[in-house]
Amino acid sequence: MGELLDASGLLRPLDENEVSLLTTIHEPFLANGKFPIFDFVDRELFKKGMDAATLLDGLPTTGGRALYGLIRPAGGRYRGAEDTVSLTIAGLVQCPRAGDAVAVFLSVLHLLIDKEQRTRSDPYEVPRVEVPGDQVNQHLQEAGFDLFAWTIPQLRTLLQYEPPDAVSGISGTPDEWTVTVSKDLRRYRSVTDKESYLDRVLEHLAPSSQPAERLYVSPFTLPNAMDFLDAVWQVRFKRERLFRLGSAGAVAALAFGCATEDEFKSRVSAFADALARMDVPETTGAPPGAKSLVRLELFLKTSLASADVDRLHESIATLKAIVGIRAGTQHAGARKALVEGYALLGIPYPISGWATAWEIVQSRAVDALEAIREEVQRGS
């Protein structure tokens, strides 16, 4: 695994192979503003006698839980052949020939901050701050930048995930696009150069005095845990599948990591939907309109004489906590369930890193599903 470092360590000198890795990732981005997929990086480095996965996992990361590094997503993890491998601003700073992209990004960052700061507050509505792409172009031209065919595509790509704690929204087409400015960008108003930018990023992501245990979860663990429980369920109860997934995409969402709040919400929502769609038999004593997890616990307790009922209860309580997080992110009236869900799962609140939060959800969900599977098998 890459080491966890402060800003100076994050920008440590790279060896020749690491520079080759970053250059390979950067070249497509330099040409058209899009970062390559892992398969491309892997094949190109293999030609040079290098292993891309090993090099990626060895790059420095920081933030207490590998929240930020030279690449995105940071830290050691499984990478599918079609997964995009992106460079962060820190990665671009370390990459030869990437200085222009960093300078353009920092210049536009100040433009967006200025627009946000000049927006009048409203006592009853949150103002929506939008900056059209043509204003961004005009700003860059007035700042003395040459606008090449790749300049704006590169900028649009970077604004989708930088700064990591204050991402703004990008909408529209490549020709007519708009930035919806995050109010959290105001935290970067004192940034003057790439070093102070990274200092500000890392200040927000700095580990606490007692960092939580780091989790390393295979992105395929959660779907597999669901499949294992499904198989045991069908054999034990002579029934159809427990999980009635609406689409292949629902499963795919559970296999991916996440980097933003929106992605976290999407992953949690996909899993909560899978739980809600479980095909649980009707059980005597179930309250009218009982939700799937309530019915599941009652069914298992009445059907499995040798089961550890306390273990079943704890496992299903974990799954309920995840559902509570989903409800709390979608409905203002369910904030209590949101906070309680985070507490039960051991996720520090407020969230400082969405990737790590999702890893914890995955880990707790897998533990719960595995415990339920073992109890079902015990009763076979």
Do 80 and 123 have their domain in common? Answer: no
Instruction: Please count the structural domains in the chain.
Output: 3
Place 250 in a pLDDT band, splitting at 50, 70 and 90. low
Radius of gyration of the chain (CA): 24
Residue 293 forms part of a structural domain: yes
Residue after which a domain boundary falls, among 61, 93, 125: 93
Do 18 and 160 have their domain in common? Answer: no
Which of these ranges, 66-70, 122-126, 139-143, has the smallest mean pLDDT? 66-70
Burial 13-43 (b: 16+ CB within 10 A, else e): ebeeebebbbebbbeebbeebebbbbebbbe
Place 75 in a pLDDT band, splitting at 50, 70 and 90. low
pLDDT in tens, 180-219: 998 889 889 999 999 899 988 887 665 444 444 444 444 4
Q: What is the pLDDT of residue 157?
A: 93
User: Domain range holding 169?
Assistant: 99-205
Place 318 in a pLDDT band, splitting at 50, 70 and 90. very high
Residue 228 forms part of a structural domain: yes
The overall average pLDDT reported for the chain is 84
The vertex-35 CA angle with 31 and 39, nearest 5°, equals: 115
Q: How many helices (H) and strands (E) does the chain have?
A: 16, 7
SS3 for 122? coil
In percent, the amount of the chain with pLDDT more than 70 equals: 86
Residue 226 forms part of a structural domain: yes
Distances (CA, A) of 271 to 201, 276, 329: 31, 9, 14
For residue 32, pLDDT over 60 is answered with yes
Q: What is the pLDDT of residue 224?
A: 86
Residue 36 forms part of a structural domain: yes
Q: Are 34 and 157 in contact (CB under 8 A)?
A: yes
The CATH number that applies at residue 185 is: 1.10.10
Q: What are phi and psi of 131, to 5 degrees?
A: -125, 115
Going by DSSP bridges, is the β-strand pair 169-172/68-69 parallel, antiparallel, or unpaired?
unpaired
pLDDT in tens, 338-368: 778 888 888 877 787 888 889 889 888 988 9
Do 323 and 265 have their domain in common? Answer: yes
Do 233 and 374 have their domain in common? Answer: yes
Residue after which a domain boundary falls, among 93, 110, 136: 93
Residue 211 forms part of a structural domain: no
Q: Are 253 and 267 in contact (CB under 8 A)?
A: yes
In percent, the amount of the chain with pLDDT more than 90 equals: 41
Residue 230 forms part of a structural domain: yes
Q: Are 303 and 266 in contact (CB under 8 A)?
A: no
Do 196 and 87 have their domain in common? Answer: no
Do 267 and 322 have their domain in common? Answer: yes
Do 306 and 247 have their domain in common? Answer: yes
Do 358 and 260 have their domain in common? Answer: yes
Do 79 and 29 have their domain in common? Answer: yes
Q: What are phi and psi of 363, to 5 degrees?
A: -60, -45
Residue 214 forms part of a structural domain: no
Residue after which a domain boundary falls, among 39, 64, 93: 93
Burial environment of residue 210 by CB neighbours within 10 A (0 to 12, 13 to 18, 19 or more)? exposed
Residue 216 forms part of a structural domain: no
Between CA 34 and CA 157 the distance in angstroms is: 7
pLDDT in tens, 89-115: 999 999 989 999 999 999 999 999 999
Do 189 and 238 have their domain in common? Answer: no
Do 231 and 178 have their domain in common? Answer: no
The secondary structure of residue 379, as a DSSP letter, is T
Which of these ranges, 11-25, 34-48, 145-159, 288-302, has the smallest mean pLDDT? 288-302
Do 177 and 226 have their domain in common? Answer: no
Q: Which helix (H) or strand (E) holds 254?
A: helix 248-255
Place 282 in a pLDDT band, splitting at 50, 70 and 90. confident
